[in-house]
């Protein structure tokens, strides 16, 4: 028998797009060009994360939150993407998702983004901020790719420019989620991380021991990056469901 949790993990959510007439198309461009979303969301999990984030929100100020993993393949990118899609469906307002994973950017390929300039093209000084426009992938959800990270790999990231860019995004969006590199590689995106209000640490269940998590938390504190909490990813229950009802 197949594992129901594994089946749920691989489920796709499709966008039903109304066919456009030859004379005139009234559908938004993101609907007409994107037939499906590569991620489905577990509403209860992401409702809980959004609720906890909202408790830190002061007045109506836009929050900028980073998501980083304890190590690579912790699922931070998946958590960031699912959270952005869920927030966009919950009347949070305009949501911006930024791929700041300089070492291993995946959103351009995974989400089928256009090959436009991205975050590090701007922060390295190669492209003017006005030439870098986030792309809409769903209702109320926009994505800014990492850009051409190969040509800007050795370029220094301007901390002041990162702060100014984030402040401009705060004026245009209601929630900003930033997919950061894994914690051990965070120094490559440290100016971006420091421009955020806080960071969530994603750890894959049973893959990281407590001393390592504590070391990462201390590292973030030393780098003046505020750790807001942790997300346990791919947690598995070993008690059968029929038995859970009696516990």
Point out which residues pair with 199 in neighbouring strands.
66, 227
Point out which residues pair with 180 in neighbouring strands.
none
In this predicted structure, the answer to whether residue 39 has a pLDDT above a threshold of 90 is no
In this predicted structure, the answer to whether residue 59 has a pLDDT above a threshold of 90 is no
What's the pLDDT score for residue 140? 94
Read off the pLDDT of each residue in 31-50 and give the average, rounded to a whole number. Answer: 64
CA distance 136 to 61: 22
For residues 168-188, b (16+ Cβ closer than 10 Å) or e, as one string? ebbeebbbbbbbbbbbebbeb
Please choose, from the candidates 9, 88, 90, the residue with its C-alpha nearest in 3D space to the C-alpha of residue 42.
9
> What digits encode the pLDDT tens for the residues 189-200?
899 999 999 999
Burial classification of residue 155, based on how many CB atoms lie within 10 Å of its CB (0-12 exposed, 13-18 middle, 19 or more buried): middle
Q: Where in the chain are the domains?
A: 59-234
59-234 carries CATH number 3.30.360.10: no
In this predicted structure, the answer to whether residue 80 has a pLDDT above a threshold of 80 is yes
What's the pLDDT score for residue 207? 61
> What digits encode the pLDDT tens for the residues 198-244?
999 988 766 667 788 888 889 888 999 999 988 877 555 544 555 55
Rounded percentage of the chain residues whose pLDDT exceeds 90 = 32
Please choose, from the candidates 143, 212, 154, the residue with its C-alpha nearest in 3D space to the C-alpha of residue 183.
212
Rounded percentage of the chain residues whose pLDDT exceeds 70 = 75
What's the pLDDT score for residue 109? 86
Lowest mean pLDDT among 34-48, 81-95, 217-231: 34-48
């Amino acid at each position: 028998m197949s594992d129901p949790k594994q089946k749920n993990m691989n489920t796709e959510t499709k966008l039903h797009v109304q066919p456009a007439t030859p004379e005139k198309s009234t559908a938004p461009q993101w609907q007409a060009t994107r037939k499906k979303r590569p991620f489905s969301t577990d509403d209860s999990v992401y409702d809980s994360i959004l609720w906890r984030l909202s408790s830190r929100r002061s007045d109506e100020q836009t929050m900028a939150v980073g998501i980083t993993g304890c190590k690579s393949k912790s699922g931070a990118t998946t958590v960031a993407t699912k959270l952005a899609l869920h927030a966009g469906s919950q009347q949070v307002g305009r949501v911006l998702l930024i791929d700041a994973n300089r070492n291993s950017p995946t959103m351009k390929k995974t989400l089928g983004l256009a090959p436009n300039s991205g975050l590090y093209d701007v922060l390295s000084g190669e492209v003017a901020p006005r030439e870098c426009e986030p792309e809409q992938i769903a209702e109320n959800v926009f994505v800014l790719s990492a850009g051409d990270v190969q040509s800007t790999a050795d370029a220094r990231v301007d901390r002041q420019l990162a702060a100014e860019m984030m402040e401009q995004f705060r004026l245009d969006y209601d929630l900003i989620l930033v997919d950061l590199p894994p914690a051990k590689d965070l120094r490559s995106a440290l100016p971006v991380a420091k421009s955020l209000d806080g960071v969530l640490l994603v750890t894959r269940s049973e893959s990281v021991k407590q001393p390592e998590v504590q070391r990462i938390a201390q590292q973030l504190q030393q780098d003046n990056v505020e750790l807001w909490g942790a997300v346990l990813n791919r947690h598995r229950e070993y008690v059968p469901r029929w038995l859970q009802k009696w516990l």
